[in-house]
Structure 1
Amino acid sequence: MLRGLKPWQRFAFTSLRPQIPVAAMSTSTSIPDHGLDSLPVSCPSELSKEELSRFPAFRVWFATLQRSLGRQKHPSHEFHTDPFVLRKIDVQAVDFFKGGRLGFVKLKVDVSNASGESLPGSVFLRGGSVGMLLLLQPDDVPSASENDKWAVLTVQPRIPAGSLAFSEIPAGMLDDSGAFAGKAAEEIEEETGLRISQSELVDMTSLALQSTDGSEDGETLQKAVYPSPGGSDEFIPLFLCDKRMPRKDIEALQGKLTGLRQHGEKITLKVVPLKDLWKEGIRDGKTLAAWALYTGLKRDNKL
């Protein structure tokens, strides 16, 4: 079983598939599934209120925001005397993946108080992703040695970053298929060719948050890192797989072509010394976060 697994984590994560832009012609509606009857909500004509209300990313984002706004009721909260309220949601654009599955949603929300002060409300809604720190160690060295560990990176095109060769740890998007653990191992196999059992996975974010999250007066966010909280809801739980295997098998991974190439995944593997991971993955936030979590958890004897 995955350690620290939460209900929202019982999604499968799959690689990003090409999306089809949809024009944003708006019609007003409300979403009774979430008790939003009195809240103005506008959607593109191609997106129904039922589709939006069923979209897992929207449900998680809305529930999280409502919990945080609800904390203002406490007298000790900074905004208690003039609380902020969610007053309106405008869906400006949507992208669908192949097969018609809702992929990305761009929102503009009005969160303001009685004094007329507003909080920034542009949201790129894409839901959660999962990152995997996959460490390999030759089985001919002592298992306690950190100097002989190697990290697996994937190098692939990332058009949003303007790159055709972006280095990052293996990762994938969450969806609503309901079989997270099995699909996590499946994704690693697709991207690296390695078979990983569920028992080999450690949820580093959940482990690190055990002593800091869930305090009585603190916000209840996802047990994950948020790479761009100023513009996106994306959250990324980071998992560790620390695996021993023959040295020749580790060497054979260097430069290996992997991924579902028939779906546009053009992945090349790059195996780097663990000590150099922070330099090799310096442009990727989840890679640096995974390295920092691993380093901190090791230092505190939690791994």
Structure 2
Amino acid sequence: MSSTFQHRDYHIPITLPPGLSQEKLLNFHPFTSWLSTLQASLSLQSTNPSHPFHPSPYALHSITVQSYDLFGGTDNPRLGFVKLTAAVSNAQGETLPGAVFLRGPSVAMLVMLIPDDIDPNSSEKDNDDERYVVMTVQPRIAAGSLEFVELPAGMVDEAGDFVGQAAREIREELGVEIPGSELVCLSEMAARGTEEGGDGGGGIGKGDGNLPNAVYPSPGGCDEYIPIYMHERRVPREQLGEWTGRLTGLREHGEKITLKLVRMKDLWREGARDAKSLAALALWEGLRRQGKL
């Protein structure tokens, strides 16, 4: 049987499905983060007279959790995914779409390899012609594919260690040890560029300053956001051939990953179905144009 409780801070009713406790939901970081971010965004309607909804602001009236998935073993499972609907409307009775799939943030990694026999002082074009991106090919059942080509990526744990998770994913999926200190966050660099007075308008997150500096691949229905990290290194040319076709991933977690190397100049085509690839390419090219990379 479902149950309902009143949120202690926002004073809205939250209805839970059978088996999901109030404590478990309120300890689920993707839920608390989404709710606080939404409430902060709703508050901007009244504090900012130029907000498009200022004359008739919307409010969150209730939340109904429809379903959830648990991760881990049977002894101490943790909440993994949550599907809910949020009732958001204004005084005129106008509503906003409120179906939400909560899964939390992820990280994506743009790892680029250049043969070490290329003169580092050679032209930018020569380096670009020999710059390779490491991609993964793996089953993605949600996409209906057993061979989905994408940038390496992984979910972030409750601790929110984005840099550490990026380094772990590179080690697990690519088999390369890269210290977190050697990773560059393209998303953060793009945000800093606009704050420093870059050319042109809003930049990452300027429409709503509460949002993290990251890519939202499906904001119409999912809370997931993805900071994109970059690492570039020179490797022996013969090592490049060893990467393509290598089998990686944590087999005990059901990961069956094959590596694929593509030229950076072909990433727009090879990764055309992958939002992470296209976002990484756009950030990398934009930052290079501004002399940030």
| TM-score, structure 1 normalization | 0.87
2 CA distance for matches of 1:26 and 1:135?
Answer: 50
1:26 aligns with 2:20: no
- Cα offsets for 1:107-160 (capped at 9, x unmatched): 100010011000000001111010000101111102352221000000000000
The one-letter amino acid paired with 2:6 is: S
- 2:21 is aligned, of 48, 61, 66, to 48
Partners of 2:160 and 2:286 in 1: CA distance = 31
Task: Name the CA distance, whole Å, in 1 between partners of 2:115 and 2:36.
Answer: 45
1:181 aligns with 2:148: no
CA contact (8 A) 1:255 1:269 kept: yes
Tell me, in whole angstroms, the C-alpha distance in 1 between the residues paired with 2:104 and 2:163: 17
Matched, 1:88 2:36: no
Distance in 1 (CA, whole Å) between partners of 2:72 and 2:6 is: 27
Distance 1:168 1:242 in 2: 18
In 2: Cα distance, 1:240 partner to 1:269 partner: 17
2:182 maps to which residue?
Answer: 200
Contact conserved, 1:133 with 1:239, CA < 8 A, in 2? yes
Distance 1:213 1:162 in 2: 31
> Offset at 1:178?
5.1
Determine if contact 1:31/1:50 at 8 Å carries over to the other structure. no
Q: Is the 8 A contact 1:88 1:109 kept in 2?
A: yes
Q: What's 1:98 paired with?
A: 72
Aligned partner letter, 1:288: L
Q: Which 4+ residue blocks in structure 1 deviate beyond 4 angstroms?
A: none
Residue 288 of structure 1 is matched in structure 2 by 278
CA contact (8 A) 1:93 1:107 kept: yes
Q: What is the alpha-carbon distance in structure 2 between the residues aligned to residue 241 and residue 235 of structure 1?
A: 20
Tell whether 2:235 aligns with 1:279. no
**Residue 89 (structure 2) pairs with residue 116 (structure 1):** no
2:31 is matched with: 58
Per the TM alignment, residue 218 of structure 1 is displaced from its structure 2 partner at its CA by 4.3
- Which ranges of structure 1 fall in alignment gaps of 5 or more residues? 1-24
| Paired position in structure 2 for 1:71 | 44
After TM superposition, the structure 1 = structure 2 runs for residues 137-286 of structure 1, keeping only pairs within 5 Å, are 137-143=114-120, 144=124, 145-177=127-159, 179-210=161-192, 211=194, 212-213=203-204, 218-286=208-276
**Structure-1 residue corresponding to 2:200:** none
Are the counterparts in 2 of residues 26 and 92 from structure 1 also a CA contact under 8 Å? no
| Equivalent in the alignment of 1:300 | 290
Letter in structure 2 aligned against 1:198: G
* One-letter amino acid matched to 2:280: A
Number of residue pairs aligned between Structure 1 and Structure 2: 275
Deviations 1:152-200 (A, max 9, x none): 0000000000000000000000111354433321221110111111122
* Residues 238 and 178 (structure 1), Cα distance of their counterparts in 2 relative to 1, 3 Å cut: closer
Instruction: Tell me the distance in 1 between the aligned counterparts of 2:267 and 2:42.
Output: 38
Give the alignment's Cα RMSD to 1 decimal. 1.5
Amino acid at match of 1:173: M
Q: Distance in 2 between matches of 1:236 and 1:222?
A: 9
* Aligned amino acid, residue 92 of structure 1: Q
The code of the aligned residue for 2:63 comes to I
Alpha-carbon distance between aligned partners in 1 of 2:104 and 2:33, rounded to the nearest angstrom: 8
Extract unaligned runs of 5+ from structure 2: 195-202
- Per-residue CA deviations over 1:253-283 (Å, capped at 9, x if unaligned) read 0100000112210000001111111111111
Mapped to 2, the partners of 1:175 and 1:229 lie a distance apart of 20
Q: Report the AA paired with residue 81 of structure 2.
A: F
Match of 2:197 in 1: none
Q: Is the 8 A contact 1:200 1:242 kept in 2?
A: no
How far did residue 214 of structure 1 move?
A: 6.7
Sort the Cα spacing of 1:214 and 1:278 in 2 relative to 1 into closer, same or farther, 3 A: closer
Distance 1:177 1:79 in 2: 35
Q: Quote the Cα distance in structure 1 between the aligned partners of 2:80 and 2:88.
A: 24
State whether residues 128 and 234 of structure 1, in contact with CA within 8 Å, keep that contact through their aligned partners in structure 2: yes
2: CA distance, partners of 1:151 / 1:264: 24
